[in-house]
Amino acid sequence: MSQTNETLKRNVVTGRRATVRVKTIAFVGLMGALSAILMLLRFPIPFMPPFMSFDLSGVMEMLGGYMFGPGAAFCIILVKILLQLVIQGSLSLGTGEIQNLILSSCYVLPAVFLYYRNKTKKRAVAGMAVSTVLVAVVAVFTNLYMIIPFYANLMGNTMDDFVAMCTAVNPMMKDALTMALFGIVPFNLIKYGATSVVTFLLYKKLSRFIKGVIER
């Protein structure tokens, strides 16, 4: 009889774990879809490089990472990019999607890894602050040495053409260096700083609700 009870208990626990896993996967997919929708609402920032656009898709990625871990965060990023490709196709011959994958990962994953070492509010804030600075620095190198040159070669343009686009909206951007200092860095600090603030404001309420649904 005791063995039967133990077997029943194990089956209940196993079934509960499977249910939680399925619900978690469902929420990861949903957050990826919401992230894709937020990315569709992107818009340029005045005086910033016109080939960059502001959106808050990173909010869902960071929230998912803090709730479910770095693996889930990366899956949300992939779902977002794949859905965006399905809905709109690539607007930049794939370079924008590559850039999105790199910068989203650089922003979300370090913060999530830091948070999971010690799950406190201070660690969450510190993680997002570190990631915001990191992604701004990484964006300079990916834009100047990978994404823009690759796209320019495909389209028969040069770096000077991109600088000229930036100079037209902000005369302070006169070459690659000033484009980085007065365009790429401040743009990413604004974008990911705002994303961090919104994430901080939403995390507690949403995490309680979502975890409540998953654990029912």
Query: Which CATH number is 2-214's, of 1.10.287.610, 3.20.20.70, 1.10.1760.20, 1.10.287.1040?
Result: 1.10.1760.20
- For residue 43, the cross-strand partners are 54
**From 9-18, 44-53, 59-68, 96-105, the region with the lowest mean pLDDT:** 9-18
The Cα–Cα gap between 63 and 69 comes to 9
What is the number of other CB atoms lying within 10 angstroms of the CB of residue 161? 12
- For residue 54, the cross-strand partners are 43
Token pair belonging to 203: 């995390």
The Cα–Cα gap between 55 and 33 comes to 14
Average pLDDT over residues 36-56: 95
pLDDT value of residue 63:
96
* pLDDT tens per residue across span 137-156: 999 999 999 999 988 888 88
pLDDT value of residue 14:
64
The proportion of the chain whose per-residue pLDDT surpasses 90, expressed as a percent, equals 72
**Contacting residues for 103 by C-beta, under 8 A, at least 6 apart:** 135, 138, 139, 142, 188
The residue to which tokens 């896993």 are assigned: 21
Q: Is the pLDDT of residue 92 over 90?
A: no
Q: Is the pLDDT of residue 3 over 60?
A: no
Q: Is the pLDDT of residue 103 over 70?
A: yes
Higher local confidence (pLDDT), 16 or 81: 81
Nearest to 139 by CA among 94, 109, 98: 98
Crossing angle, helix 185-214 and helix 2-40, to 10 degrees? 150
The Cα–Cα gap between 182 and 204 comes to 35
Handedness of CA 114, 180, 98, 51 (dihedral sign): positive
The Cα–Cα gap between 119 and 179 comes to 38
**From 15-29, 61-75, 81-95, 115-129, the region with the lowest mean pLDDT:** 15-29
Higher local confidence (pLDDT), 213 or 2: 213
pLDDT value of residue 23:
86
